[in-house]
Amino acid sequence: MTEFEKNITNFPKQLNIGNIKYFNLDKIKKINPDGIIIAGMGGSGLAGRILRGIQHEINLHTPIKIWTDYGLPKHFFKNPLIICVSFSGDTAETVSSYLANKKFNRAVITTGGKLKKLAEKDKVPLAIFEAITLQPRQATGFCFYAILGLLKNTFPKLKVSNMDKGININKNRVLGQKLAKGLAKKMIMIYTSSNNSHLAYNWKIRLNETSKTLAFYNTIPEMCHNEIVSFGNDFKNFTCIFLNDPNDNPENKKRVRIISQLLKERDIDYLNINLSGKNIFQKVFQSINLADWLSFYLAKNNNFNPEDIKIIDQLKKLMS
């Protein structure tokens, strides 16, 4: 078993707030932010999207803005909390977000690098986890629970449920391997309700990086007002994946059934995957683990190395 495969198998070990090391938490207890800005690129930023997607279900009602660029976004917050998430600690965009405005309350989540040194020097709240052999996109659990650990000190009523014993790895592995068989060399479109767009985005990233698959995502019903028109073209090398939630609006469930029929009439492949879980945490991380297994086996079917991100490395080298 490769290290990459072991990391997917060991994913539940990340899903416990107690597996993160925290520093300078006394400072985060003293603030009352009117907004949260989560700055993070690529795999490092995935956890922020999850948090924003489920925030009201975990009793977090402060506005959240996701930032994936240099500096900081324009905003109307008077007292924001800037959470900078960088797996390596050296992500140029995220470092620039940290340095953009030192008057704002800041916190850092990382494994080391420049951000760790800056946070230690400035004595700002810091959450650290061990990288070991993880790829950034494989550390979503660590990053998510690190964010929760920081915010729990600011928002004591925040609901947290550890999932280190709540994910069915073997079931996800078998299903992921089965689903991957029909997706080799395919372009993939992921559709879900607006409430679960954070999951669709996580699926997209894993398909892009692990299986080197051109993948995109959109939400229902929005896609019914524009993107669906493109189905009139000849898309034989295209597959749609619907992430279906039993809690979706009945009208959106109806739309999925009708869209599936329209795809079938046009000989366009599609898959229906049902989201499930005893709580919001299990639903999220069951889905992400399944996406990891699907992407892993799809990489093997496409004869790609799941760990290979040479083009990203090349881009970083050229940028430096």
- Do both 141 and 71 map to the same domain? yes
- Do both 26 and 140 map to the same domain? yes
- Res 30: pLDDT: 84
**Res. 131: pLDDT tops 90:** no
For residue 4, the SS3 value is helix
| C-alpha 79: how far from chain center | 26
Candidate ranges 43-47, 48-52, 307-311; pick with highest mean pLDDT: 48-52
- Do both 134 and 222 map to the same domain? no
- Do both 220 and 279 map to the same domain? yes
Domain contains 260: yes
- Do both 149 and 174 map to the same domain? no
**Res. 50: pLDDT tops 80:** yes
**What total number of domains does the chain contain?**
2
**Helix axes 113-122 and 92-100, enclosed angle (nearest 10):** 20
Domain contains 51: yes
* Distance between start and end Cα atoms, the chain: 35
Mean pLDDT of the chain: 95
Confidence at 319, pLDDT banded by 50, 70, 90: confident
> Residue 275's domain is classified under what CATH number?
3.40.50.10490
**Res. 234: pLDDT tops 80:** no
What are 60's two structure tokens? 């977090």
Domain contains 160: no
The torsion angles phi and psi of 21, rounded to 5 degrees, stand at -95, 130
Strands 35-39 and 105-110: unpaired
Say if residue 247 is exposed, middle or buried (CB neighbours under 10 Å; 0-12, 13-18, 19+): exposed
Residue 27 lies in domain: 17-154
- Res 310: pLDDT: 87
Domain contains 161: no
Model's pTM, two decimal places?
A: 0.95
- Region 212-235: mean pLDDT is 91
If phi > 0 it is left, if psi is from -120 to 50 it is alpha, else beta; for residue 160 that is beta
- Do both 123 and 198 map to the same domain? no
Domain contains 126: yes
Contact (Cβ atoms closer than 8 angstroms) between residue 274 and residue 241:
no
Domain contains 306: no
Q: What would the pLDDT profile of 247-274 be if each residue is shown by its tens digit? A: 999 999 999 999 999 999 988 999 999 9
Say if residue 315 is exposed, middle or buried (CB neighbours under 10 Å; 0-12, 13-18, 19+): exposed
Of 91-95, 225-229, 315-319, give the lowest mean pLDDT range: 315-319
Domain contains 6: no
Say if residue 16 is exposed, middle or buried (CB neighbours under 10 Å; 0-12, 13-18, 19+): middle
- Do both 27 and 106 map to the same domain? yes
Domain contains 57: yes
